[in-house]
Amino acid sequence: MTERDRLTTALLALRIGVFIVMFMWTLDKFVNSPHASRVFDNFYGLGGFGPGLMAAIGVAELILILAFVAGYQKRISYGGVLALHAR
């Protein structure tokens, strides 16, 4: 295995790891939207989100993290994942 192959494999593993964490956060928006709404209120100061809005945010986040793990539109998807982590 060449140096480039090892780097490619390591970066894929890193993307998969970040995807798994982000996917759990995304599932929370669908499965337990009151909890996700409280998280938005406590950490971002954005309160009062109902289940419909949390589902819409979850769909947008799911599309973003799927693009991220696939390596699609890297500048946009990597930047979006970075923005979700920035606080």
Q: Where are the domains of the chain?
A: 3-85
Question: 26: buried, middle or exposed (CB in 10 Å: 19+, 13-18, 0-12)?
Answer: buried
**pLDDT (tens digit per residue) in 18-67:** 999 999 999 999 999 999 999 989 988 888 899 999 999 999 999 999 99
- Tokens at 63, concatenated: 């599309």
Task: Give 86's DSSP letter.
Answer: -
Question: 11: buried, middle or exposed (CB in 10 Å: 19+, 13-18, 0-12)?
Answer: exposed
Give the per-residue pLDDT at 43. Answer: 86
- Name which of 54, 20, 22 is nearest 39 in CA terms: 54
**Angle at CA 58, nearest 5°, toward 55 and 63?**
130
